[in-house]
Amino acid sequence: MSLTQDISGQTALVTGGSSGLGQATALRLAEAGVHVVVLGRSQEGLDDTVAAIAAKGGTAKSIRGDLAERGTLEAAVDQVVADAGHLNVLVNNAAVMYMDQASTAARDRWEQMFQINVFALIEGSQAAIRHMREKDVDGHIVNISSLASRLPGGGLYGATKSAIERYADQLRMELENDKIRITTIVPGGFATNLGRDINEQQQAVFQEKIGAQMEGLVPDAEGRTPLFGIPDDIARAVVFAVAQPIYLNVFEMVVRPSKNIDPAAFME
Ligand X SMILES: NC(=O)c1ccc[n+]([C@@H]2O[C@H](COP(=O)([O-])OP(=O)(O)OC[C@H]3O[C@@H](n4cnc5c(N)ncnc54)[C@H](OP(=O)(O)O)[C@@H]3O)[C@@H](O)[C@H]2O)c1
Nearer to ligand X, 95 or 243 (CB): 95
When asked if residue 40 is in the footprint of ligand X (CB under 6 A), the reply is yes
| Residues in 213-252 at the binding interface with ligand X, rule: CB under 6 A | none
Q: Is 153 left (phi over 0), alpha (psi -120 to 50) or beta?
A: left
Main-chain dihedrals φ then ψ at residue 107, nearest 5 degrees: -55, -45
The reply to whether 157 belongs to the active site is yes
When asked if residue 141 is in the footprint of ligand X (CB under 6 A), the reply is no
b/e 97-120 (16+ beta carbons within 10 angstroms → b): bbbbeeeebeeeebeebebbbbbb
CA distances from 261 to 56, 162, 218 (A): 34, 19, 16
| Residues in 62-101 at the binding interface with ligand X, rule: CB under 6 A | 66-68, 93-97
When asked if residue 125 is in the footprint of ligand X (CB under 6 A), the reply is no
Interacting residue with ligand X among 11, 18, 62, 225 (CB under 6 A): 18
Nearer to ligand X, 178 or 263 (CB): 263
Residues 39 and 15: beta-carbon distance below 8 Å = yes
Residues 111 and 159: beta-carbon distance below 8 Å = no
Interacting residue with ligand X among 58, 124, 155, 187 (CB under 6 A): 187
Interacting residue with ligand X among 10, 19, 88, 183 (CB under 6 A): 19
* Cα–Cα dist 111/105, whole Å: 10
Interacting residue with ligand X among 190, 225, 238, 250 (CB under 6 A): 190
Instruction: Report the catalytic residues.
Output: 157
Q: Which residues contribute to the site for ligand X (CB under 6 A)?
A: 16, 18-22, 40-42, 45, 66-68, 93-97, 116, 144, 146, 187, 189-190, 192-194
